[in-house]
Chain A
Amino acid sequence: MAGLDDVFGDLFSNVDGVALFSPSGSYYERFADLEDVEVIVVGTENDVGASTFVELPLEFEDISDRIRFGLEGALDQEIIDDGDTLACATSVFGDDIDTVSRVRADADNHTGIYDLFARSRADPEVVKSVLELAIELGQKGQKGKPVGALFVVGDAGKVMNKSRPLSYNPFEKSHVHVGDPIVDVMLKEFSRLDGAFVISDAGKIVSAYRYLEPSAEGVDIPKGLGARHMAGGAITRDTNAISIVLSESDGLVRAFKAGEIILEVDPEAY
């Protein structure tokens, strides 16, 4: 078996660092003892108490998404430099780490997924909760039927000024925040009705039933997406908000920032 080391050794020889995706505590400790290797822990939570940590907003099911997001976060925090080669250890089939891939960090491939969470006006926690909510809504739908929904997150004051109510606001004088346990059920019920949900930087649900009135000039979204996506994309160009859209027709969840589509996930994959 000595021959295998020579062959697979290429995968991790001369790497600038090792990125561990959601490692278990004992697994991480084995790496912490190693010298000359920079160890970066990537995961939804820093369970192992690592000093260099990149937070994932979601446990991405797709490996390339997971690694791309992790590296983009690491580049952004300047833990690694453009052009560094990393051995990314992650799990594909089980809960334990079973896969190593050699990836070159490339700043040109910047998609802005990391910015969506870390550099938005809204708190990363809020963006994360709304994304989870949209994904859950996409999985279950309303009584089995697929639903669409549009969440505009952050910069709520400006968003409110660039929209008008379609009906009475059910969240008037209420103080519900995304992440409260009751909210899932409420939003599921209200998602039957048209219009956008407006959520403030701190996660307060400001309004439902909003008709967004941004100017749609220069918004570049793929052809074939409907009015909901167009409105969601355009409002992020006019304000500093981001929008998270659940499509009724194809069931995908998309996130927009600055008028551009940043993230596209299939709820069924989670």
Chain B
Amino acid sequence: MDWQTLIDEPAVIAAAVLVLGLVVGYLVGRLNEELLTASGVPEAVEGTPFERTAQSLGTSTVEIVARLSAWFIYGIAVLTAIHIAQLLDTDAFWLRVTEFIPQVFVAVLVMIVGFIVADKSELTVGEYLRSVKLPQVALIPKLVKYSVLYVALVVALGQVGVHVTALLILLAIYAVGIVAVGAYAFKDFLVSSAAGIYLLLNQPYGIGDRVRVGDQTGIVQEVDLFVTKIEDDSEEYIVPNRKIFEDGIVRVRD
């Protein structure tokens, strides 16, 4: 048999593609693992439930992501090989598969990243709120977690072509609600902090000055972003900085 005819044989080319795919897939997997490790991903995901689940299954987040990319390439190689060997002669099927596989890959990746980001933000928010000793506060980290998960789910479903319009509307209502309630609830804080920034930068009055705000007179004890503390002989007024801009402040010099 001639070499030329051997190379032209579809089965041989398919086998070569398969081998090449396996090698490239393995290398990409390893490279991804190295890159993710070098960029500090293991430290970033440490302690998240996703990582812990992965650990209990004898693997890790980095390994899962690296394997995923490797399997993605294996899959392409196998499909290409099948196509070349003409084992399945269905062009339509082929076309849809090539479109669908990358989408599934991205969707799975989005879900993994979503899970990790959700867990991580739950941990971070929980840590931040730990000093607040109020039982109900434990709800906030959970809320953050599921919000992130929801967004990841919508993105992932959108990626694989499921109709997500209804979910998007829900998300929009949720986001608008949070912004509206937040803006309303923190309106006074925002105004006060804007005034506070000016007071801190320009210091029209400082600690130790005798001042009058409205009908309260006293010595300034503290100026921070939101409030100014003014102390009389026995009374300490905590005046929101917003009020200082509205009423003006009188520096008493004697």
Could you tell me which A residues sit within 8 Å of B by CB distance?
155-161, 173, 175, 200-202, 204, 206
Contacts and interface: CB of A to CB of B under 8 A. Distances in A.
B237 to A, nearest CB: 12
B127 to A, nearest CB: 15
Given A200-B207, A204-B207, A206-B208, A157 B220 contact: yes
Contacts of A157: 207-209, 219-221, 231
Contacts of A158: 219, 231
A156 B221 contact: yes
29 contacts: A156-B207, A156-B208, A156-B221, A156-B222, A157-B207, A157-B208, A157-B209, A157-B219, A157-B220, A157-B221, A157-B231, A158-B219, A158-B231, A159-B208, A160-B207, A160-B208, A161-B208, A161-B210, A161-B219, A175-B200, A200-B207, A200-B221, A200-B222, A201-B221, A202-B222, A202-B224, A204-B207, A206-B206, A206-B208
Which of B200, B210, B221, B229 counts the most A-chain CB atoms under 10 A from its CB?
B221
Interface residues of B, number: 14
Interface in B210-229: 210, 219-222, 224, 229
A200 B222 CA distance: 7
Given A175-B200, A206-B207, A155 B222 contact: no
Nearest to A169: B206
- For chain A, what secondary structure do more than half of its interface residues adopt (helix, strand, loop), or is it mixed? mixed
A93 B28 CA distance: 54
B203 interface: yes
A174 B229 CA distance: 18
Given A157-B219, A200-B222, 16 more contacts: A155-B221, A156-B207, A156-B208, A156-B221, A156-B222, A157-B209, A157-B231, A158-B219, A159-B208, A160-B208, A173-B203, A175-B200, A204-B207, A204-B222, A206-B207, A206-B208
Contacts of A175: 200
Interface string B52-93: 000000000000000000000000000000000000000000
Contacts of A161: 208, 210, 219
7 pairs of A and B residues whose beta carbons are closest in the complex: A160-B208, A157-B219, A157-B221, A206-B207, A156-B207, A157-B208, A173-B203
